Amino acid sequence: MTEENTRAGFVALIGEPNAGKSTLLNRMVGAKVSIVTHKVQTTRARIRGVALDGDSQIVFVDTPGLFRPRRRLDRAMVAAAWGGAADADVVVLLIEAHRGQTDGVKAILEALSERVGQVPVALAINKIDRVKAEELLALTKAMNEAYPFVETFLISAERGHGCDALKHWLAKEVPAGPWLYPEDQIADLPMRMIAAEMTREKLTLRLHQELPYQLTVETESWQERPDGSARIDQMIYVSRDGHKGILLGHKGETIKSVGRAAREEIEEFLGRKVHLFLQVKVRENWLEESERYSEMGLDFKDGN
């Protein structure tokens, strides 16, 4: 491979919460860099996963889902999503086949031209195994009448159907130029943040509706040990005393179970032994603290 033949660029994945953006990113990159849960709004920071296809390097920007913001955190997340799209070389709008043109999708379509300017936008209709062929054709036609997409892909991010075709197309669409990241680097988030995201995923899955949006996880320290293992200390911030009790669980069972599951996943990701220590701290106004936003890769000012 010579640098004259290489291509590299940024691809922003946008769509409603839970459309499958994180699943698609992980499928494209071939490793778990974005957390995937059945909860809406689990992606907060613009996580970049790096995928290779031939001589092309595709840097994916997995934006938070686009939705109607209510709180400061919501507004900062939506601003990050549109910012990621406007700065990209190519945008992929992901929608769910079985949900079709929801009010949220219509709102995104209305905002697209103004928000992304001249950036080419492709449509990826996800979860195609959930609908009949005629419904899929009707949805494809309706979406392309609503916006001039440069290309349309029918995919299943979970099963992998159609994902290679999308990846090959993106590899040709990104601009010619040198690669942006070393070949062995799959994500530009520091490992501290990826580890925190993995713990937050386990908390979200375990706590269901109780308080997934009222907490955040930060990796406070990361120590490399002589035996090749790592000691990771993480702090879980909650906004109320009552939340702390829910999180700890009876005799600390909930936090122990979450810690075990997170440790196993971090170990699998790193390919080595990890000693994970979790603590819970009540911080009433963490949703209004600028440094918490910086930790999540968001701009505090965007929440105004």
DSSP string, 134-164: HHHHHHHHHHHHHS--S-EEE-BTTTTBTHH
Domains of the chain: 3-173 (3.40.50.300), 191-303 (3.30.300.20)
User: Which among 26, 16, 66 is positioned nearest to 48, based on CA atoms?
Assistant: 26
Highest mean pLDDT among 97-106, 147-156, 203-212 belongs to 147-156
What CA–CA distance (Å, rounded) separates 147 from 166?
19
Report the predicted TM-score, pTM, of the whole model to 2 decimal places. Answer: 0.62
> Max alpha carbon distance in the chain (Å)?
61
Q: What mean pLDDT value characterizes the chain? A: 79
Measured in Å, how far apart are the chain's first and last C-alpha atoms?
A: 47
Q: For residue range 1-58, what is the model confidence (pLDDT) as tens digits?
A: 555 689 998 888 888 877 888 788 888 887 665 544 444 444 444 556 788 899 998 8
What CA–CA distance (Å, rounded) separates 295 from 304?
18
Q: For residue range 212-249, what is the model confidence (pLDDT) as tens digits?
A: 456 788 888 888 899 989 999 999 988 778 788 888 88
Q: Using the predicted structure, report yes or no on whether residue 267 has a pLDDT greater than 80.
A: yes
Q: Which pLDDT band holds residue 133 (cuts at 50, 70, 90)?
A: very high
In the prediction, which pLDDT does 39 show? Answer: 42
